[in-house]
Amino acid sequence: MRDRSTRALVVAAVVAVVTVSAATVVWWDRAPTSVKKITGTTANTPGVAWALDPADDLGRPFAAFADPREGTAFTAGEPGIIRSGDTLVTVVGTPNEGTTLGDPVMVGIDARTGGVRWQAPAHDLVSCSEVPLHGKIYCHALRKEYELVTYDVDSGKSVRRTVAESIFAITTTPDALYVAEGSVEEDDVRVHSGTFDDVSAHWTRQFDLGASYEEVYSSEALTVIDGVGLIRTGGDVAQFDADSGAELWSNRTQCVGTSSLLAGGFLVHADTGCESAGRASEQLLRGPDGKVIVSNSHPAVQRPGLESVTTADPVLLGDSAYDRETGERLWTNSDLVSGDTNATGTVTAVVDGVAYLLDSNSGSESGIDLQTGKRLWHNVWGEYTNATVTPDAYRDRLLTGSDGVALTAVDVTTGKVAWTAPFLAIDADPEKFATGRALESYGDGWIFSSDRQMIRLAPL
């Protein structure tokens, strides 16, 4: 770890180098086309407005889409999209052996037509923030030195500059840039709030946190929501005021298994009691001031992969729902916990006042009213069937997701299938949608991407 610290000192002595990318190129655009019906589907099923193949359409054999939030330096990764208005920002590169992308570029795509607006070099990116700041995507990179990188969403213009800080995490809000840096393996961590030109323009704070670098790069190390920040390095966690950097709470001697920052700056974390098995011994809800609002000792931790909630919605801990302001227990429902011996949480998505539950142990799925805890609907899977939907995105009461065979939309309030779009009916090549999935709602339809093809679905 000393070599990283020494390197940081050397970098600090170097005058920052700013590079403006001149390689940004407008490739081609498309005229809007009519929406094509997917053969064999119902009238409710959206059609294909456009399709984009990174290998064929961009002239890059074997190229694939990748998630810009995951960077390009250490992982070939899953596909992913950052949407800003009518622009879809993603990465295109050639997967190599191991975990790197060959010749990666950041690409801006017109969501209306599927036309490529721009491309810009995207080499050595460690990660990028998904919230644009003043019209730009912010990333950090590591080559010979640590770098900050921006991409203008509209034009693709990219600017890089070397920094003295040993950045390992980055996030943005519409108003500010936040970076975490230091030597995490020596418990030497700082968070800065500032600008591209000066990452410390607003403030800098030291935090007594540490972990291995593998633990840091495999989790969301830095998050800011509604004026409250969360920094996590492995099992060390600190909640802080995003305007001043003041520490609100840190785990210190507590062993935190999971932690999640919620709307309104509330924090949910599960403590393990420092047991090697990692089972939750206590779950706590903290307010935006860092103080405990409520706790319980239920071992089942809820890990919804998709959430769209407000500060008026209750928080789910174990088998119960709690008022996030007062800590009052509002209801308890055993459906929230799988019946197996490990007592795992079943909450898979929370949207529009409904908790969507998947219980693989009982082979069933349910919708629960978030305010009352009452079951709205319940489906039991057949002997040779699985869950109706594995949710990736949500809009207008529809939970939509891919199982590798089709895109399916389910009405979360009734549990009924609204439509199904088989991939082989969209494209006869079975490899086009075989691996990877990223889904975003857009306009009155959807944008879906595998690693081999991106499509827009729109009403007929």
pLDDT, residue 158, reads 97
pLDDT, residue 386, reads 75
Sheet holding 236-241, edge to edge: 222-225, 228-233, 236-241, 247-250
Q: What is the pLDDT of residues 318-371, one digit of tens each?
A: 999 999 999 999 999 999 999 766 789 999 999 999 999 999 888 999 999 999
- Name the CATH topology of 31-61+352-460: Thrombin, subunit H (2.40.10)
Beta bridge partners of 357: 347, 366
**C-alpha 366 chain-centroid distance:** 24
> How many CB atoms are located within 10 Å of the residue 401 CB?
24
Nearest Cα neighbor of 301 from 264, 259, 332 is: 259
DSSP class per residue in 366-400: EEEETTT--EEEEEE--TT---S----EEETTEEE
pLDDT, residue 13, reads 38
Regions of the chain short of the pLDDT cut 70: 1-17, 19-32, 76, 98, 218-219, 276-278, 340-341, 384
pLDDT, residue 11, reads 37
Residue type, 443: G
Q: Residue 309 class from Cβ within 10 Å (0-12 exposed, 13-18 middle, 19+ buried)?
A: buried
pLDDT, residue 381, reads 87
Give the separation between CA 286 and CA 259, rounded to whole angstroms.
11
Q: How much is the pTM? A: 0.91
pLDDT, residue 278, reads 62
Sheet holding 136-142, edge to edge: 18-20, 158-163, 146-152, 136-142, 125-128
Give the separation between CA 406 and CA 292, rounded to whole angstroms.
43
DSSP letter at 2? H
